[in-house]
Chains A and B, each alone.
Chain A
């Protein structure tokens, strides 16, 4: 299994600003993902972070709002841009290895937008 860390663990931000969340994995992994968990809800996949190419976004999520980087096999960032109170959620990073369908999750970043 992979050990995944995220920074920051939580933040309170003002409307209209942007926040970048970092995800670090302790070993090289093939796949990295970003999820959103709105208050009291289940998880929704935002995008798959692809190493060396543009992320693959799910329906309802766009690159201008949620730009993602993945410069190598152990690190990815998600930016939440031009935030509004509706972006208040927990954002989780996950990862899985080559040929593996099991995803391991980071502890999440709890974001509150005022």
Chain B
């Protein structure tokens, strides 16, 4: 079945450092890919998405490119801020599974220190 694998956290960075959180997936067909963010004590917010190969999703300085050849959707940001501290979830839907059913990775905790 479909699955998502994320790099384990926690990831601890200093402010203005470069961020990469790795995400790879297993799916048949062509899934849609998502990054969600969960700030402390809150629900999930959609950060960005990509629906086909080579698409780049971007929002709030974060980017992720849908790489079909490597089945990856790594999240990057050039300069993190303390306010980016949160849990980041990679997810997919479709790709041989139910179109509206989201499969989540385990989440990666990011802690940014001033």
Contacts and interface: CB of A to CB of B under 8 A. Distances in A.
A2 B45 CA distance: 11
Nearest to A106: B43
Interface in B76-114: 89, 93-94, 99-102, 104-107
Interface of A is mostly: strand
A101 B99 contact: yes
Contacts of B99: 101
Interface residues of B, number: 21
B101 A43 contact: no
Interface residues of A, number: 20
Interface of B: 32, 34, 36, 42-46, 49, 51, 89, 93-94, 99-102, 104-107
10 smallest CB-CB distances across A and B, nearest first, come from A107-B43, A105-B44, A108-B43, A42-B104, A105-B43, A101-B93, A42-B106, A43-B104, A101-B32, A31-B100
